[in-house]
Amino acid sequence: MRKPTSKNLRNQQRFSEVQEVELLESWIEFGKPDSGLNPLSLSPLPKEGPIGRIDESSFSNYAACTRFYQLPLSRKTKDGLSESKYIEMTEIQRASLPHSLCGRDILGAAKTGSGKTLAFIIPVLEKLYRARWGPEDGVGSIIISPTRELAGELFDVLRNVGRNHSFSAGLLIGGRKDVDTEKEHVNNLNILVCTPGRLLQHMDETPNFDCSQLQVLVLDEADRILDAGFKKTLNSILSQLPKRRQTLLFSATQTKSVQDLARLSLKDPEYISVHEESVTATPSRLQQTAMIVPLDQKINMLWSFIKMHLNSKILVFLSSCKQVKFVFEAFKKLRPGIPLKCLHGRMKQERRMGIYSQFCETRSVLFATDVGSRGLNFNNAVDWVVQVDCPENVASYIHRVGRTARYHSGGKSVLFLLPSETEMLKKLQEAKIPIKLIKANSKRLLSVTNALSELLVKSPDTQYLAQRAFTTYLRSIYKQQDKEVFDVMNLPLEDFSASLGLPVTPKVRFLNQKIKGKKLPEEEGPLLQRGNIDKDEVVTVRRKKSHVDDLEEEVERDFLSAKEAAVDGEANEDSIPATRILKKKKLKINVHRPIGTRVVFDEEGNTLPPLAALADTASADGLLQLDKVKERYEKLKEEMKQRDKEDKQLLRQRLREKRTKEKMKLTRARQEQEVASEHEEDMSGSDGETIDNKSRKRSKIYFESESDDDEKKGKKDNVGFSEDSISLEEQEALALKLLSSMHS
Ligand code: ADP
Ligand code: MG
């Protein structure tokens, strides 16, 4: 009788555990906090109210909770916690658990005594529980601690909190314990708490020691374990662990070393720093300012800002990846005098990590989108955060600056707002963000527009990027939900396009439609519009349009309707539908096409003159304004030519001056040399050898100055040959003359 009952009970328990795990998994998935979000910045979940499943499709918000029972934890862990009298979470627990429970890597820093132990023991227990880890599964988690004492203490906490779980755990530390007995058991343990040395000893000596199934690796007091003293041991340990795992690092100070992070194969780690001052929505050490910048001045303002902060590390947020590409490529060609980098959502993860670590190490400017900077944390890395385009909402603002603030040394941030976007400033201030409106110093504003238009005429690729940047910016504004802040109809399109250096304002189809009154079925923006285009229509549209650029737009249109991407052109690489092939093809066509030779077909398949595509082909009365466009373009070209001429002249003159100066310098050096060696001669009184020396020294000077760098190499002929054609004395006399005329 007893047997079947206990079997039934066990089955029943197993069944309800399966159900519990399912519930926990959906709950965790439902409430995943955005990566980079500091849960301490959220307003706390009320103490009353439902916990867990609320209705068919929603759960309570665990990212904002303050007590352990509000977290998506197994019954066994919750009981273990309350039996050990742990009720309210400490800050590091509140800040890290919502992230660690959904499987993310953590780099946590909080002072001693702040409760870091539970911040990693709970996710370890939960991960193994939800994976239904059993005795036969072997080592599922390794917790490394730098000293035996600390390892012992945390083992006690594990035993206490995990008392209702059935995992086996072992404390592997050097010293008195008999290592041979340990070796017999170690393969049956699920959780190992150990010091680095003892763990490595087992890895080396214990037969069949297997940790290939490792799920979670924890480094407690990580700064000490990553220290030079443990370097070799830790590297050997890490080389034997599987790379696919969750890694949790906790210590009193934040590790910033990119090398360490690479060594530990962290994936998009959450940097969580808890210090008293960080409880406000945004770090209080951060000086936050906003500036009103008209749309057509944004690019100039950004350029001026960069030029004024050449010794800083600057992170620049733009709203779409097309804008990032354009600003990055264009500024790069204009050489601001500081290294530039860019990050956007179209880049592969490894590439983003590489750029990120380069950025962390040197002064530079990094242009990024929200998606591109996803998962990266710029704590301690930046001096300035510049938000060129207004964030979508308050949360997005906090997200951008929250991950970029320097907790210790204080960073600065500036937000550019259009005159029409001042409502956002009010919203930020209402959310208790200490942001101050400052006035831009217009005297220091440099204009980059002329340089840009020259560049765009020379480089069709950049011009294309500028057009795309223009339209995607407008589309991003059009798509914004918050119509109180964003109004696409009030933007100065002509001026904006001119400020990017574009010779003509690109046509913006969705705006034209809106202006013509072809109202969308619903006023929610182009996503809905796209969703409502039926397939046949898209196909016919595509057949009619033969221009490659338009094809890309169609691809984007299909793509966006298939997946409601939040930010234009920033969607996931893997979810791109088959139509993307068209886009790839397009990218290969006409890469090096000379300016103004683009052949355009109209809807009947007739060719149109080049440049027509650039024009807003239909004017208000529906007539083509090609002449006007051509005229404008020609004028621009003429201007460029003229300027080019002037530049060349100036350059020639400068070169001439430089050459003369160089000559004088040489002569002066030689004179000094002469005086010195004459002096030497006098002192030594000998002859042959010194003279030899003298001539050797001379030739050496020539040699050095000639081969110094490329620029000087170019002058080699002048200097070198003149040596043959004019005698030294003559040269010196000439130089002296020049010198005296300069001094007089
Ligand atoms: P740290 O590792 O950050 O130095 P510990 O994890 O050792 O800190 O915790 C310090 C003390 O705080 C311990 O005595 C621990 O029991 C206690 N503690 C941790 N978390 C909580 C909590 N949520 N509620 C009450 N006490 C806690
Ligand atoms: Mg500790």
Q: What is the distance in A from the centroid of ligand 1 to the CA of 89?
A: 9
Contacts of 300 (CB under 8 A, 6+ apart): 445, 446, 447, 448, 449, 499
Residue 211 near ligand 1, beta carbon < 6 Å = no
611 with 629: CB under 8 angstroms? yes
Q: Whose CA is nearest to atom 1 of ligand 1?
A: 113
Q: Which is the closest atom of ligand 1 to the Cα of 92?
A: 3
Q: What is the distance in A from the centroid of ligand 1 to the CA of 68?
A: 13
Query: Torsion angle of alpha carbons 302, 306, 309, 314, nearest 10°?
Result: 90
| pTM exceeding the 0.75 threshold for the entire prediction | no
Residue 84 near ligand 1, beta carbon < 6 Å = no
What is the bridge-based pairing of β-strands 287-292 and 435-438?
A: parallel
In angstroms, the CA 449 to CA 467 distance is 15
Q: Which is the closest atom of ligand 1 to the Cα of 93?
A: 23
Q: What is the distance in A from the centroid of ligand 2 to the CA of 70?
A: 24
Residue 89 near ligand 1, beta carbon < 6 Å = yes
- CA Rg, the chain, in Å? 34
Residue of 664, 662, 698 lying closest to 678 (CA atoms): 698
Query: What pLDDT was estimated at residue 174?
Result: 80
Q: What is the distance in A from the centroid of ligand 1 to the CA of 381?
A: 30
**Is the four-CA dihedral 476, 480, 485, 489 of positive or negative sign?**
positive
Query: What pLDDT was estimated at residue 659?
Result: 84
Residue 459 near ligand 1, beta carbon < 6 Å = no
Residue 113 near ligand 1, beta carbon < 6 Å = yes
Q: What is the distance in A from the centroid of ligand 1 to the CA of 127?
A: 21
Residue in this structure with the two tokens 């390794």, named with its chain if needed: 142
Query: Torsion angle of alpha carbons 452, 458, 464, 470, nearest 10°?
Result: 20
Low-confidence ranges of the chain (pLDDT < 50): 1-3, 276-281, 406-408, 518-589, 591, 597, 608-624, 680-726, 742-744
Residue 367 near ligand 1, beta carbon < 6 Å = no
Ligand nearest to the backbone CA of 66: 1
Residue 336 near ligand 1, beta carbon < 6 Å = no
CB atoms within 10 A of CB 741: 8
In angstroms, the CA 359 to CA 153 distance is 39
Residue 520 is classified by DSSP as -
Q: What is the distance in A from the centroid of ligand 1 to the CA of 165?
A: 21
In angstroms, the CA 477 to CA 485 distance is 10
Q: Whose CA is nearest to atom 25 of ligand 1?
A: 86
**Is the four-CA dihedral 57, 62, 64, 70 of positive or negative sign?**
positive
Q: Whose CA is nearest to atom 26 of ligand 1?
A: 86
Q: Which of 67, 81, 86 to mutate to test the pocket of ligand 1 (most atoms within 8 A of CB)?
A: 86
Query: What pLDDT was estimated at residue 546?
Result: 30
**623 Cα distance to chain centroid:** 45
Residue 517 is classified by DSSP as T
Residue 354 near ligand 1, beta carbon < 6 Å = no
Q: Whose CA is nearest to atom 9 of ligand 1?
A: 115
Q: What is the distance in A from the centroid of ligand 2 to the CA of 118?
A: 9
Element (H, E) at 77: helix 75-83
Q: What is the distance in A from the centroid of ligand 1 to the CA of 729?
A: 86
Q: Which is the closest atom of ligand 1 to the Cα of 90?
A: 23
Query: What pLDDT was estimated at residue 28?
Result: 95
Q: Which is the closest atom of ligand 1 to the Cα of 221?
A: 2
Query: What pLDDT was estimated at residue 73?
Result: 96
Backbone angles phi, psi at 314, to 5 degrees: -120, 130
Residue 90 near ligand 1, beta carbon < 6 Å = yes
Beta strands across the sheet bearing 314-317: 340-343, 365-368, 314-317, 384-387, 412-417, 287-292, 435-438
Q: Which residues pair with 436 in a beta bridge?
A: 289
Q: What is the distance in A from the centroid of ligand 2 to the CA of 216?
A: 18
Mind listing the domains of the chain with CATH numbers?
72-273 (3.40.50.300), 286-500 (3.40.50.300), 507-587 (no CATH), 597-633 (no CATH)
Residue in this structure with the two tokens 């309800």, named with its chain if needed: 16
Ligand nearest to the backbone CA of 161: 1
Ligand nearest to the backbone CA of 224: 2
Q: What is the distance in A from the centroid of ligand 1 to the CA of 60?
A: 26
317 with 385: CB under 8 angstroms? yes
412 with 282: CB under 8 angstroms? no
Three-state helix/strand/coil letters over 531-546: HHCCHHHHHHHHHHCC
Residue 117 near ligand 1, beta carbon < 6 Å = yes
Q: Whose CA is nearest to atom 5 of ligand 1?
A: 115
Residue in this structure with the two tokens 């951060």, named with its chain if needed: 286
Query: What pLDDT was estimated at residue 567?
Result: 35
Q: Whose CA is nearest to atom 19 of ligand 1?
A: 115
163 with 80: CB under 8 angstroms? yes
Query: What pLDDT was estimated at residue 406?
Result: 46
CB burial class (10 A; 0-12, 13-18, 19+) of residue 421? buried
379 with 353: CB under 8 angstroms? no
Q: Whose CA is nearest to atom 18 of ligand 1?
A: 115
Q: What is the distance in A from the centroid of ligand 1 to the CA of 139?
A: 26
**DSSP per residue over 697-709, as a string?**
HHHHHHHHHHHS-
Q: Which residues pair with 649 in a beta bridge?
A: none
Query: Torsion angle of alpha carbons 300, 302, 305, 306, nearest 10°?
Result: -110
Q: What is the distance in A from the centroid of ligand 1 to the CA of 132?
A: 28
Q: Whose CA is nearest to atom 20 of ligand 1?
A: 115
Query: Torsion angle of alpha carbons 462, 466, 467, 473, nearest 10°?
Result: 150
Q: Which is the closest atom of ligand 1 to the Cα of 114?
A: 3
Q: Dmax of the chain from CA atoms?
A: 122
94 with 39: CB under 8 angstroms? yes
Q: What is the distance in A from the centroid of ligand 1 to the CA of 324?
A: 45
Q: Which of 114, 144, 273 to mutate to test the pocket of ligand 1 (most atoms within 8 A of CB)?
A: 114
Backbone angles phi, psi at 583, to 5 degrees: -65, -40
**Region of residue 543 (phi > 0: left; psi between -120 and 50: alpha; otherwise: beta):** alpha
Residue 116 near ligand 1, beta carbon < 6 Å = yes
Q: What is the distance in A from the centroid of ligand 1 to the CA of 113?
A: 6
Residue in this structure with the two tokens 């001052």, named with its chain if needed: 277
Q: Which is the closest atom of ligand 1 to the Cα of 88?
A: 23
HSE, CB side, 13 Å, CA atoms: give it for residue 564.
9
In angstroms, the CA 741 to CA 731 distance is 15
